[in-house]
Amino acid sequence: MVQRTTMQYYLQRNRYKTAIVGKYLNGEVPRDPPFFDRWAVFQKPDYFNTRFNVNGRVRKVHGYSTTYISGKARGILRGFERRDRRPWFLLVSTNAPHLPFAAERKYADLEIPQWEGTPAQFEGDRSDKPPWVRRANATIEDGQRIRRRQLRTLKSVDDLVGGIKHKLGRLNERSRTLAFFLSDNGYMWAEHGLTEKNHPYTGSVRTPFFVTWPGHVAPGSVNSRMVGNIDIAPTVLRAAGILNQAQTIDGRPLFSRGPRKRLLLENWFDQFPHWASFRSKRYQFVEYYRRTSGVRFREYYKLRKDPWQLTNVLRDGAPDNDPNVRRLSRSLQRARQCVGSGCP
């Protein structure tokens, strides 16, 4: 894997010190992750007694992986700052809250506040949904159980974030560090009878997205513009002053003008139906595809009126309220082939 379109490639060639600790996403990973000066990456992500590749040497790490990742990240920062002449980039990625949702022992029995669910967990009629959604049978109790276990694993991530923040303060780096806190995907808590990820519905595609950058982002401020994970790379490269060196790159810098009107979302993971979708603040349009060719099912939700996606207007028996599906489908097909900042 060449990987010459990554943040770490562009940053390293511009004299940034680069490091990764934890999970290297996604797909087949080389023995030593390219374009990182320091690393400690899972061989196979897990919670207890896992094997890590640490700067080229594979070793078994005893104890809880999130705690190890936290200590290793702080140690790398300390090492980078011994000679404070070069800027740095650090990627920290835990296994939490991924399956099997194994909490650190001190949090294993933590009391989690009760959660009553949303209308999506109690959807009584899914006849307007695709056949595999109609057959789904997860209950609110299943969703509550998953939620409790995930939140217990995230208590250790809270500790990790606090520890790194404290270390940045001790190193006098907090005031000039651009930091992101986010997830690569959402996980269904029995919305529409579903669990897992890789679905087009809100519970799977809306994720936490927090940014801190003193002097640029006011503490506690909220911006309602539509953003995606693809926006991180151009944001980081622009902040570093090297975006113009990158090849054509998807996404848009977060602090540029002109918010996007809609996002292109896709899933091609073979364990789930293949789909592509447009999502805006007003609507979501989804096409599911056969593995050979052709569309097998479509959905359209008016999100302002129906935020829980209970009524697929293409299957509600009222064709007068249907959108122009042919136009949406053609536009979606074009978007699937696009590259660069002009993409949705």
What confidence score (pLDDT) does residue 30 get? 59
Q: Quick check: is 238 in a domain?
A: no
- Both 91 and 102 in one domain: the answer is no
> Looking up tokens 């309602």, which residue turns up?
224
Residue by residue, DSSP assigns 219-283 as TT----S---GGGHHHHHHHHTT-GGGS-S-SS--TTSSS--S-EEEEE--TTS-EEEEEE-SSE
Alpha carbons 339 and 344: distance in angstroms, whole number:
10
- Both 157 and 170 in one domain: the answer is yes
- Both 38 and 118 in one domain: the answer is no
Answer whether residue 26 shows pLDDT above 80: no
- Both 77 and 171 in one domain: the answer is no
Answer whether residue 100 shows pLDDT above 60: yes
- Both 25 and 47 in one domain: the answer is yes
Per-residue pLDDT reduced to its tens digit, 279-337: 999 999 999 999 888 999 999 999 999 999 999 999 999 999 999 999 999 999 999 99
- Both 212 and 117 in one domain: the answer is yes
Alpha carbons 129 and 135: distance in angstroms, whole number:
10
Q: Quick check: is 272 in a domain?
A: yes
- Both 302 and 337 in one domain: the answer is yes
- Both 50 and 2 in one domain: the answer is yes
Q: Quick check: is 254 in a domain?
A: no
Whole-model pTM: value is: 0.93
Q: Give the residue numbers spanning the domain of 194.
A: 97-222
Answer whether residue 1 shows pLDDT above 60: no
Q: Quick check: is 231 in a domain?
A: no
Task: Look at the chain and report how many structural domains it folds into.
Answer: 3
Give the CA count within 13 Å in the CB-facing half-sphere of 284: 25
Give percent of the chain with pLDDT exceeding 70: 98
Give percent of the chain with pLDDT exceeding 90: 83
- Both 184 and 202 in one domain: the answer is yes
CB 283 within 8 A of CB 313: no
Please name which of 246, 256, 233 lies closest in space to residue 89, comparing C-alpha atoms. Answer: 233
Per-residue pLDDT reduced to its tens digit, 191-248: 999 999 999 999 999 999 999 999 999 999 999 889 999 999 999 999 999 988 887 8
Q: Quick check: is 342 in a domain?
A: yes
Say whether 194 sits in a helix, a strand or coil: coil
Q: Quick check: is 12 in a domain?
A: yes
Q: Residue 342's domain is classified under what CATH number?
A: 3.30.1120
> Looking up tokens 């995930």, which residue turns up?
150
Answer whether residue 27 shows pLDDT above 60: no
Q: Which of 164, 193, 222 is the last residue of a domain?
A: 222
Q: Which two tokens stand for residue 229?
A: 């994970």
Q: Under 8 Å CB-to-CB from 142, ≥6 apart: which residues?
A: 189, 190, 195
Per-residue pLDDT reduced to its tens digit, 125-175: 999 999 999 999 999 999 999 999 999 999 999 999 999 999 999 999 999
- Both 46 and 125 in one domain: the answer is no
Backbone angles phi, psi at 195, to 5 degrees: -125, -170
Q: Quick check: is 237 in a domain?
A: no
Answer whether residue 29 shows pLDDT above 70: no
What confidence score (pLDDT) does residue 4 get? 84
What confidence score (pLDDT) does residue 145 get? 97
Q: Quick check: is 227 in a domain?
A: no
Q: Which of 65, 95, 125 is the last residue of a domain?
A: 95
Q: What is the mean pLDDT of residues 245-268?
A: 87
- Both 218 and 165 in one domain: the answer is yes
- Both 272 and 343 in one domain: the answer is yes
Q: Which of 95, 121, 140 is the last residue of a domain?
A: 95
